[in-house]
Amino acid sequence: MSIERSTGNVFRDLGFGPKEARCLTLRAELMIEIKRLIERRKLTQSSAAKLFGVTQPRISDLVRGKIDLFSLETLINMLARAGIKVELRLARGGRGRSEQAA
């Protein structure tokens, strides 16, 4: 059995490029926060849809983890509708300029 060391990003480990992996990670983090909010407030999918300003099938897709159906902008807007402020923090990476620009 061969074991490979993780890159620290599951999407990179699955073969996605650096930019796409980071975007997918951000989308996944926002989706997890929305799902936690639904669970904490004990919302039905219907009531969650009203809160987030989407349809019930969209909430079903989110809960099922269908990440490819949600953009960062959509997820941020959903959280804003629920009164959650999403902040962006920029930091320099530990890699060279060529990868930062990628």
Q: What is the predicted pLDDT for the residue at 95?
A: 59
Retrieve residue 13's tokens. Answer: 């480990």
Average pLDDT, 10 consecutive residues per value, the chain (102 residues): 86 91 95 97 97 97 96 97 91 59 44
List the domain boundaries for the chain. 10-85
**Whole-model pTM over 0.85:** no
- Type of residue at 21: A
Q: What is the predicted pLDDT for the residue at 98?
A: 45
Domain 10-85: give its CATH architecture. Answer: Orthogonal Bundle (1.10)
Q: What is the predicted pLDDT for the residue at 94?
A: 63
